Amino acid sequence: MRIDTIFIDGFGVWHESRLEPAAGLTVVCGDNEAGKTTLLAFVRAVLFGFETGQYPAVAGGRRGGWLEVTTADERRYRIERYGDRGGQGALSVTGDDGVDRGPQFLSRLLHGVEASVYRNVFAFRLEELSELKGLTEGGVAARIYGAGLGTGAASAITVESALKTEVAGLFKPGGSNPRINQLLRQIEEVEHQLSRVDPPAEYADTRSRLTELEADRERLASEIDSFGSERRRLDRIDAGWQPTQELRAAEEALAEEGDAGAGLEGAIERFTRLDAAVRAARERLDDATARLSSRRKHLAELDPDETTLAHRSQVEGLLEARAAVRGEAGALREAEQQLSSADRQLAETLSQLGAGWTVERVSGLDLSVATRAALGGRLRELIDGATRDLERRELEAATAEAAAAEASIELRSLDERMAGDFTSPLPVALHHVRRGPLVLAAVAGAGLLVAVALALAGATVAAGASAVLGLAAAGLLWWVSRPGATEAGDPAAARRAVIEERRAMISERLAQAARARDSTAAALVAARDASLAANAEWSEWLSAHSYDADLDRETVLSLFEAATAARATIRRREEVAETVGRLAARRDAFLDEAGVVLAALGRPVAADSLAAAVDALGNELREAQSAHESAERIAADVEDLAAEEARAAERNGGDAEALAALLAECGVSSEAELRERVARADRHRSLTESAARARQALATLAGHGDGVDRLVGEIAAVADIGEVRDRLSAVRADAEGATDRRDGVLQEIGALQSQVEGLEASVEASSARQQLADLVSRLEAEAEDWSVRRLAVALMERTRQRYEREHRPGVIRTAEEFLSEWTDGRWVRIIAPLGGAIDGLERADGRQVAIGALSRGTQEQLYLALRFGLIEHFAEEAEPLPIVMDETLVNFDEARAERTARTIERLSKRHQILYFTCRTSTPLQSQTVVRLQPPILAGAVGADRPPTVERVPAATDA
Amino acid sequence: MPIEPFRFLHTGDLHLDSPFVGLTAEAPPEVARALRDSTLQAWQRIVKLALDEQVDFAVVAGDAFEHANRTLLAQVRFRDGLEALSAAGIPSFVVTGNHDPLSGWEPSVRWPEHSHRFGADAVEARPVIRGGREIARVYGISYPVRAVTENLALRFRRDADAPYAVAVLHANVGGQPGHMPYSPCTLSDLRASGIEYWALGHIHRPGVLSESGPTVVYCGNPQGRDPGETEPRGAYVVEVDSAGAAVPVFHATDAVRWQLLELDIGQVEGEESLVDAVVAAVEGAQHAAARPIVVRVTLVGRGGLHRSMNRGSLRDEVRQLAQERLPTEGRFAWIESLRDATRPLADLGSAAPATFLGELSGEADAGREALGRQVDTDSDEESAAAATWEDALEELYGNSRVRRVLHGRRPDRRRLAELLTDAERLAVDRMVESG
């Protein structure tokens, strides 16, 4: 790409200025402040954007302008950019067609060259030429080294640095933040925790303490046993002290007592018992004698009524009858009242039946169910049927009579009408006569047929007759009224014919009515006969059943009911009368018997006092019986008491003999003597028992066998039981203390055992170990990661060193060629680490000189050579870009400047070069020279007139 | 002479209360608890197995505990198990190993009535009585200290009157690699003793070294505890017939099983599919194991996902998303970690030896070659080359704090070569990314 036109609308001191550089080398001359640097900055700004605050359009116009460029394929574009502030501003890239292709197209035109690369390599100022960092910026450095790496523009140094950073991020000796350092710290912490819990220090301590306590427990148990033995021994002595003293005293007393004599065992008891028996027998004898006397006296005082007692059974019978009669007296009175009431009721019932009715007549009536049924059934139907038939026949007779009378009246009326209207009723009569025989025959036939049919059907004669008459009348009517029966044509005749026909019909009806009347009259007679027969039969029935003959059936029925009730009353009255009779008879019998008995006892009394006399007799009998029984009982008592007295006297004698025998048996003569001897024997026995009790008590303490003797011997050795008891108290206190201590130990053992079990079940150590294992695993993994990165760093370092040694990057080699040419072979090699800063130069003799030790001119030649190397390298990949240089050769010595100028000229064959200089003479030989006139300054803020561009003949032209 | 048939349980290397090795800090509580208690659980299963099988006796061939200083919990649980056997009339015979020598501290826990722990002074013989008759005689000797370099097997001699001889010993037969050469012995040594059955402990992988004459069996540990112990773990129930022929039958007792899965990303398209693939792989592994598992998934192979792997959090995210779809209770499947060993679709370095990446690849190759040589054949120059890489890790592994914690776990040369490969891959990826 080359720039054909530079047009500045407004940029620094420039305003509406135009410059048209040559395709190859253009030398732009201008004094200081003529705007050369501003022009260079303008080209950079249009291609890559404005720098903030730099180069405002102080001379006028809008800040910005455009470049017209032509690409290698001869396409022309205008790159136009305006903007007041820093940044991209308003950019347009238009071709000949005027279409804006946008910023991306500009990037394509520049072949991806970044701003920094262009500024440092293609368009640099004099002061920038000597800046080392310009060549170490990423983009430029990548251009220098990437060409030789086979991976594009990669920087081994960048990768190496990144890996080193990662390595340091994983581990740093003495560091704390890198991951491995953190893991180490965590591991140490967990290890410390483990040392605490695995094994748990407290477990060992606890087990140790537990062992001690178990030993204590055994020792204390032994102590407690020992105290127990001593306590039991002293307890025995203490408890055995008193029995031993008693044993000793009893044995001493027995020894002193000597032989108490034998055979007196129980003598006192026997004596006492016999003595008491003698006394008791005496008391009983005395008592029996006294009671015998008393009873005998009482017996003598008793005098029972023997007469009454002799009639005892009769009197008792009377008393029983008396009780019964007294009990029935109420019932008798009540029965008598009922009988009176029944009599009244019967009389009333009979009076209701009517005069002539007696008990006997009522009793003779047939009140059977059959009779009652006949009244309600057959007799009722007989009488009621006859009555109803008679009434019906009477009604029929009256009806027939009335019909005949009506027909007769009607006939007369019709005859009167005919007499008034017609002269002769003859034709009708003739007509009537002419047909008469036929009609009669037909009616007779029909009536006969109906009569037969009805007879077969079982109808009554009267009904059959009525039917025959009806049919005859109907046939007659039909005959008379049939069509053609009257003569047509004469109305009067017709009317007469109608009337005659009607008269005939009425006449017929009259005849029928007359026949009916006759018939019903006969039936009425028959009905009346039947009614009379029924009434005769009823009367006969009444007579047969003892009723009055003039009674109707309802009355008979009422009587029937009343007679039934009367008969019940009669029956009840008879029952009550029977009860009264029976009770009265019994009372009378009692009174008769009472009279007989009292008379027999010689106590005759009036009849009305018999009952009271019987009651008094009963009392006397009971008194006599009581006296008699008492006498008998006392007599028996007297006998018993006499016997008892005899027995008491006998036992008294026996006991006295036994008492005497006892005294003789004991060899004493008196009770006092016996008692003295017996008392001595009792003392001996008591002492013996006391000794036995004491020995038993000692046996309880010391066991049977010789244990008692040993205990007694042991106690005998005790001088002071008080000392023993003091010692016992002390031993008890010691034992209690030991027991308390043992309980405490047992409690502590229990607690420690729980603690041990808890520790044994703890997984704290396991968890910590697992955590430690995990941390170590992670450490291993991180260490491996670190190792891979660290080895990668080492690999990169070794490869880079080898590469630097064996493979010079093309850019460096080209630069070395330029430098060697410009310095006439003095400097042959550039010391340039792969991707790193340029270290220095190496002379043809191999001596290396650091950058800092080089002269400014040589440094600038080195950097220019590197830039040219890059430009050449860039041109190999893409279309060359315009190069803008500002006083590049000013610090070169003349010879080197000349040689460099040749290089620039040669370079301008492929690249468009704008070379800015303030000198009128340069070693460069250019066809195009442009002189810039400085602007006229009007004030501090800007130019009154911008610089001017003047194309001048080239030196060669001159 | 025919003997009475009997049955016994052979276990050992319980390593009770030892932690579960792996990244388990993020595991939910139930998983963490199951992992923590896994060895104790396995021991309970062994006890149940002995009770269910109604064995006549049980032998424990050393390393019942992880630490010489037995932890209280481990000691109590071990005691409880032996007590349960004792209560059922099953006598037990225990020897100690290098992890739990008699010199270690042990809490004063009461030893069960019918359990015998052999001493370390001499081989002891204890009869097993059933119905008043001796059916077998158990011989054993414990480790007095951790490092027993004496060939203890030589001390065993069968008594002529023993009906059947079972020897219990913690030993390394035939110098098996990966295990300390404690009580080193050979099969010939064992054969010479006249013992019929050697109940051995120490090697954690269960196996029968010799089926007869004598029968020599490593019971293995009953619970795998780290990513190196992935196969089923358990104990043997040994049937001895009247002819004296022993048939050891293995019974898995592990409560949780380690699983190492490799998942090729070659056929996996996109991160979401990767989650699906991880879940499917883990579920398949769990189905096969039929118990809770802890899984370390390593992504391998070449594929487009390789570049994504360098994004720091991706693997964690994939692991988390996959874990969300897997059970974390009951028969859980816990993804311990998701590791990356994938490769780009094509190796950049090897394709262009003159480029920087080509140089880097060459440098790594040289490093691996130097590290791969046997130490004794190293020239000075090669030793120096290997030392360069070893020294690179000195900053970390030479640090006293790190050294104390990771004692014995500094990468050896073989591992260093593997790490160098990872480092190369990392460097190349970074170079390519930044390019």
| Residue B166 DSSP SS3 | strand
B219 and B312 part of one domain: no
Q: Tokens 């059936």 correspond to what residue?
A: A553
Answer for the pair A389, A462: CB distance below 8 angstroms, yes or no.
Answer: no
CA A252 – CA A255 distance, rounded (Å): 5
Nearest to A149 among B73, B356, B409 (CB): B356
CA A132 – CA A155 distance, rounded (Å): 18
| Domain limit, last residue, from B345, B360, B382 | B345
Is B284 within a domain? yes
Burial B335-363 (b: 16+ CB within 10 A, else e): bbbbbbebbbeeebbeeeeebbbbbbbeb
B322 and B383 part of one domain: no
Put simply, whether B214 touches A (Cβ < 8 Å) is no
**Choosing among B83, B426, B432, which should be mutated to test the A contact, i.e. which has the most A CBs within 10 A?**
B426
Put simply, whether B209 touches A (Cβ < 8 Å) is no
Question: Could you tell me how far CA B215 lies from the centroid of its own chain?
Answer: 23
Put simply, whether A778 touches B (Cβ < 8 Å) is yes
CB contact under 8 A, A795 and B397: no
> What are the mean pLDDT values of chain A's consecutive 10-residue runs (958 residues total)?
91 87 88 84 90 84 92 91 87 90 84 75 74 57 53 64 91 91 92 74 75 89 92 90 89 78 71 83 82 82 78 86 86 89 86 82 83 83 87 88 86 79 46 47 52 50 51 54 50 78 86 87 88 86 81 82 85 88 88 85 81 85 84 83 82 82 82 79 84 89 83 88 92 92 91 77 74 87 92 89 71 87 90 70 88 86 86 78 87 91 91 88 83 62 61 49
B129 and B28 part of one domain: yes
Answer for the pair B167, B140: CB distance below 8 angstroms, yes or no.
Answer: yes
B63 and B167 part of one domain: yes
Element (H, E) at A342: helix A312-353
A634 and A683 part of one domain: no
Residue of A123, A76, A81 lying closest to A102 (CA atoms): A81
Is B152 within a domain? yes
Put simply, whether B346 touches A (Cβ < 8 Å) is no
CA A34 – CA A43 distance, rounded (Å): 16
Q: What is the reported pLDDT for A807?
A: 64
CA B167 – CA B125 distance, rounded (Å): 9
Q: Which of residues 207-236 of A touch B (CB under 8 A)?
A: 207
Phi-psi region of A12 (alpha: psi -120 to 50; beta: other; left: phi over 0): left
A503 and A613 part of one domain: no
A517 and A431 part of one domain: yes
Residues with Cβ within 8 Å of residue B103, at least 6 apart in sequence: B68, B144, B145, B146
Q: What is the reported pLDDT for A868?
A: 87
A495 and A408 part of one domain: yes
A441 and A505 part of one domain: yes
Is B1 within a domain? no
Nearest to B20 among A759, A763, A770 (CB): A770
B154 and B292 part of one domain: no
| Domain limit, last residue, from B345, B364, B391 | B345
Q: Identify all chain A residues contacting B19, using CB atoms and an 8 Å cutoff.
A: 766, 769-770, 772-774
Q: Tokens 């007792």 correspond to what residue?
A: B253
CA A416 – CA A623 distance, rounded (Å): 131
Put simply, whether A775 touches B (Cβ < 8 Å) is yes
A476, two tokens: 């007659």
Nearest to A802 among B73, B363, B416 (CB): B363
Distance of residue A826 Cα from the nearest chain B Cα, in angstroms = 30
- Alpha-helical (H) ranges within A602-720 are 610-665, 671-702, 707-716
**Choosing among A791, A796, A801, A834, which should be mutated to test the B contact, i.e. which has the most B CBs within 10 A?**
A791
A408 and A527 part of one domain: yes
B128 and B153 part of one domain: yes
Would you say how long chain B is, in residues?
435
The secondary structure of residue B154, as a DSSP letter, is G
Element (H, E) at A954: none
Is A871 within a domain? no
Distance of residue B203 Cα from the nearest chain A Cα, in angstroms = 22
Is A57 within a domain? no
Residue of B259, B330, B344, B258 lying closest to B300 (CA atoms): B344
Q: What is the reported pLDDT for A422?
A: 53
Burial of A625 (0-12, 13-18, 19+ CB in 10 A): middle
Q: What is the CATH number of the domain that holds B328?
A: 3.40.50
Task: Supply the DSSP string of B347-389, one letter for each residue.
Answer: -HHHH-TTSHHHHHHHHHHHHHHHHHS-GGG--HHHHHHHHHH
Q: Identify all chain A residues contacting B427, using CB atoms and an 8 Å cutoff.
A: 159, 163, 792, 795-796
A704 and A624 part of one domain: no
Range of the domain at A504: 401-531
Distance of residue B310 Cα from the nearest chain A Cα, in angstroms = 13
The secondary structure of residue B78, as a DSSP letter, is H
Q: Which residues on neighbouring strands pair with residue A3, listed in sequence order?
A: A69
| Domain limit, last residue, from B252, B279, B300 | B252
Nearest to B402 among A184, A203, A769 (CB): A184
A504 and A408 part of one domain: yes
Q: Identify all chain B residues contacting A777, using CB atoms and an 8 Å cutoff.
A: 21-24
> Does the bond joining B163 to the residue before it have cis omega, within 30 degrees of 0?
no
CB contact under 8 A, A802 and B37: no
Residue of A159, A146, A46, A30 lying closest to A103 (CA atoms): A46
Residue type (1 letter), A466: S
pTM: 0.47
Is A424 within a domain? yes
CA A154 – CA A148 distance, rounded (Å): 10
| Domain limit, last residue, from A507, A531, A555 | A531
Q: What is the reported pLDDT for A488?
A: 46
Distance of residue B41 Cα from the nearest chain A Cα, in angstroms = 13
| Residue B227 DSSP SS3 | coil
A425 and A519 part of one domain: yes
Put simply, whether B392 touches A (Cβ < 8 Å) is yes
B25 and B160 part of one domain: yes
Question: Could you tell me how far CA A494 lies from the centroid of its own chain?
Answer: 114
Answer for the pair B356, B431: CB distance below 8 angstroms, yes or no.
Answer: yes
CA A559 – CA A354 distance, rounded (Å): 10
Element (H, E) at B210: strand B207-210
Distance of residue A122 Cα from the nearest chain B Cα, in angstroms = 23
Greatest Cα-to-Cα distance within chain A, rounded to the nearest angstrom: 225
Q: What is the reported pLDDT for A130?
A: 67
Long-range contacts, A556-564 (Cβ 8 Å, 24+):
A556/A375, A557/A375, A557/A376, A559/A353, A560/A365, A560/A367, A560/A371, A560/A372, A560/A375, A562/A349, A562/A352, A562/A353, A563/A353, A563/A362, A563/A365, A563/A367, A564/A367
Q: Which of residues 825-844 of A touch B (CB under 8 A)?
A: 834
B144 and B36 part of one domain: yes
Pairing between β-strand B92-95 and β-strand B197-201 as defined by DSSP bridges: unpaired
Distance of residue A780 Cα from the nearest chain B Cα, in angstroms = 7
A412 and A478 part of one domain: yes
Q: What is the CATH number of the domain that holds B217?
A: 3.60.21.10
Is A500 within a domain? yes
Distance of residue B329 Cα from the nearest chain A Cα, in angstroms = 19
Answer for the pair B401, A172: CB distance below 8 angstroms, yes or no.
Answer: no
Pairing between β-strand B165-170 and β-strand B197-201 as defined by DSSP bridges: parallel
Is A415 within a domain? yes
Nearest to B435 among A154, A203, A800 (CB): A154
Is A735 within a domain? yes
Residue type (1 letter), A730: A
Would you say how long chain A is, in residues?
958
Half-sphere exposure (Cβ direction) of B140: Cα atoms closer than 13 Å: 29
Is A80 within a domain? no
Q: Which residues of chain B have pLDDT under 70?
A: 69, 107-108, 310-312, 346-354, 374-379, 382, 434-435
Burial B131-164 (b: 16+ CB within 10 A, else e): eeeebbbbbbbbbeebebeeebbeebebeeebbb
B238 and B116 part of one domain: yes
Phi-psi region of A35 (alpha: psi -120 to 50; beta: other; left: phi over 0): left
| Residue B288 DSSP SS3 | helix
CA distances to A119, A602, A866, A911 from A878, in Å: 18, 194, 18, 12
B371 and B313 part of one domain: no
B134 and B265 part of one domain: no
Range of the domain at B154: 6-252
| Domain limit, last residue, from A757, A775, A801 | A757
A231, two tokens: 């306590």
The ipTM value here is: 0.74
A260 and A324 part of one domain: no
Is B387 within a domain? yes
CA distances to A112, A120, A147, A835, B355 from A138, in Å: 14, 12, 14, 9, 20
B212 and B267 part of one domain: no
CB contact under 8 A, A766 and B73: yes
Half-sphere exposure (Cβ direction) of A422: Cα atoms closer than 13 Å: 22
Nearest to B423 among A162, A188, A792 (CB): A792
The CA-based dihedral angle spanning residues A167, A172, A176, A181, taken in that order and rounded to the nearest 10 degrees: 70
Is A431 within a domain? yes
- Domains held by chain B: number: 3
- Domains held by chain A: number: 3
Is B361 within a domain? yes
| Residue A460 DSSP SS3 | coil
